[in-house]
């Protein structure tokens, strides 16, 4: 098993399949974006090879993300091949849900078990304002298809002050009263492309818990506060679903971090919020054999930094969509 120098079990790889997206969420990227040329993205064959090597090193979980991973033409096949890779136990997908109505059933058949859908509001006008281009009904159709296909559903909402910090949070949390889903609220993080805006509009977990307790009564702590991935879970009394808080800014979970990220162009990112990186693409395209690549992967695990430096104003240079959220 791959342990880092702080004895964390680093066994979870988040793979960005593209930096491109069909939305332009205001906290994620500007409206005018230039995306990587296709030849700069890792090919399907390069991804298959790397997934096999990470699995052989001891990685057990992968998540496809982006940009918007459903824009990758071979997504279903990538999931199917990852599901057949010895050692890979869990495959996840993080998506804006726009294309999920058509993709949910084939993805489920390919071996996907759970999907995280980003949804910040149930108000169509506000949804359009946040995503700039999005149509809420498409995402709701995707959500419906995911649930119908038997995928475990988690909703991710990034909360911005003055935009979706009250009634939207209450409305999204209501899903947990009728559905066995996790609805998770994410604190906004600062990235180089947008740090001032993000710092100004962050809403903390404590504020949100107070808003929800006012609407639903005191929330019950789930699992004695043990994190589920990066989320601390609560429940509205008697509800089948859970409310999660992902609070990297106000309650960092670096001590429990188990992940590395692979960007769409093949750069291994050792911490979301620090610029420590290792570029695997020159090795992949320069004829490196499996032993050489495996050694680099092990070295990257050992080099993973302890935690982020937001308190010391260390802000990542890349934007979220170019890393892989
Ligand atoms: N396009 C897909 C989606 O939106 O789910 C996957 C990529 S997106 C970058 C992954 C997650 O990052 C989304 O849940 C999104 O809301 C979140 N995200 C983007 N920018 C963020 C920021 N500045 N702070 C916190 N979360 C952010
Ligand atoms: Fe696209 Fe996801 Fe970023 Fe929104 S958060 S712009 S959907 S990559």
- Tens-binned pLDDT, residue by residue, of the chain (325 aa): 789 999 999 999 999 999 999 999 999 999 999 999 999 999 999 999 999 999 999 999 999 999 999 999 999 999 999 999 999 999 999 999 999 999 999 999 999 999 999 999 999 999 999 999 999 999 999 999 999 999 999 999 999 999 999 999 999 999 999 999 999 999 989 887 676 766 677 899 999 999 999 999 999 999 999 999 899 999 999 999 999 999 998 888 898 999 999 999 999 999 988 989 999 999 999 999 999 999 999 999 999 999 888 888 888 888 888 888 7
Instruction: Please report whether residue 59 resides in a domain.
Output: yes
Ligand 1 neighbour 160 (Cβ under 6 A) = no
Find the 120 Cα to ligand 2 centroid distance in Å. Answer: 11
Integer Cα distance of 259 and 316 in angstroms: 17
- Pocket flag, ligand 2, residue 273 (CB < 6 Å): no
SS3 292: helix
Measure 293 CA to ligand 2 centroid, in angstroms: 30
- What range does the domain containing 30 cover? 12-323
Distance of CA 135 to the CA centre of its chain: 21
- The model's pTM is 0.96
- Residues in CB range of 61: below 8 A, 6 or more apart: 11, 12, 13, 88, 89, 90, 91, 92
- The pLDDT value recorded for residue 325 is 77
Whether 268 is covered by a domain: the verdict is: yes
Half-sphere exposure in the Cβ direction for 129 (13 Å, CA): 10
Which residues does residue 157 pair with via DSSP β-bridges, in sequence order?
Answer: 185
Residue 77 belongs to a domain: yes
307: in domain? yes
pLDDT at site 198 = 65
Query: The domain that contains 122 carries what CATH number?
Result: 3.20.20.70
What is the whole-number distance in angstroms between the Cα of residue 291 and the centre of ligand 2? Answer: 35
Q: For 272, which DSSP code?
A: T
Q: Nearest ligand to the C-alpha of residue 100?
A: 1
Structurally, the chain folds into a number of domains equal to 1
Ligand nearest to the CA of 64: 1
Token output for 185: 């609220």
Q: What is the pLDDT of residue 197?
A: 62
Q: Scanning the structure block, which residue is given the tokens 């500007």?
A: 30
């Amino acid at each position: 098993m791959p342990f880092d120098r702080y004895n964390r079990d680093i066994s979870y790889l988040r793979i960005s399949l593209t930096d491109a997206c069909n939305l332009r969420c205001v906290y994620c990227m500007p409206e005018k974006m230039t995306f990587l040329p296709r030849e700069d993205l890792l090919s399907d064959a390069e991804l298959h090879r790397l997934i096999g090597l990470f699995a052989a090193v001891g990685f057990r979980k992968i998540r496809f993300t982006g940009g918007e991973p459903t824009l990758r033409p071979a997504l279903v096949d990538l999931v199917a091949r990852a599901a057949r890779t010895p050692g890979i136990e869990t495959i996840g997908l993080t998506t804006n849900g726009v294309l999920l109505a058509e993709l949910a059933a084939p993805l489920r058949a390919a071996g996907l078990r759970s999907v995280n859908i980003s949804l910040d509001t149930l108000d169509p006008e506000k949804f359009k304002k946040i995503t700039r281009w999005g149509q809420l009904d498409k995402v709701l159709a995707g959500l419906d298809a995911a649930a119908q296909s038997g995928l475990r559903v988690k909703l991710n909402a990034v909360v911005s002050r003055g935009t979706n910090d009250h009634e939207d949070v209450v409305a999204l949390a209501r899903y947990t009263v009728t559905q066995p889903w996790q609805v998770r609220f994410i604190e906004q993080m600062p990235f180089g492309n947008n740090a001032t805006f993000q710092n100004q509009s962050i809403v903390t977990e404590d504020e949100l818990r107070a808003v929800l307790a006012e609407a639903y009564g005191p929330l019950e702590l789930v699992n004695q506060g043990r994190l589920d991935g990066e989320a601390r879970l609560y429940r509205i009394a008697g509800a089948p679903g859970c409310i999660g808080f992902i609070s990297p800014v106000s309650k960092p979970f670096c001590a429990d971090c188990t992940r590395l990220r692979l960007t769409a162009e093949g750069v291994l990112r050792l911490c979301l919020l620090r610029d420590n990186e290792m570029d695997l693409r020159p090795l992949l395209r320069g004829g490196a054999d499996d032993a050489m690549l495996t050694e680099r992967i092990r070295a990257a695990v050992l080099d993973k930094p302890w935690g982020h430096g937001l308190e010391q104003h260390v802000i990542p240079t890349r934007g979220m969509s170019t890393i892989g959220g």
